[in-house]
Structure 1
């Protein structure tokens, strides 16, 4: 292999490794646990919920 091809392969491998590492840290795992509506209201009142999304009959809260 000539030097230019070796350099290209090395940079491609470095790029793939960096993309993989970035994807691992960028992916957020969300915990979803059902809760009673009264508990949901208490969480809203105490300021623990920052965003609510309504999908049909479901409320999805983000803390």
Structure 2
């Protein structure tokens, strides 16, 4: 069920913003040895993710 809810959230965000998300982005985490894998991640104007542009991500917890 959680997988379907995540898929629905991704599809809704994609439809609303009309921007294709970046897939399988690795984000460094403070104090963590391994980076966090995030799928999907949207950035301002669909630009390549970096620390200078705004982003929104959806992640299952």
Taking structure 2 as the reference length, the TM-score comes to 0.29
Query: Based on CA coordinates, which of the two structures has the bigger radius of gyration?
Result: 1
Structure having the larger proportion of residues in helix:
1
Taking structure 1 as the reference length, the TM-score comes to 0.28
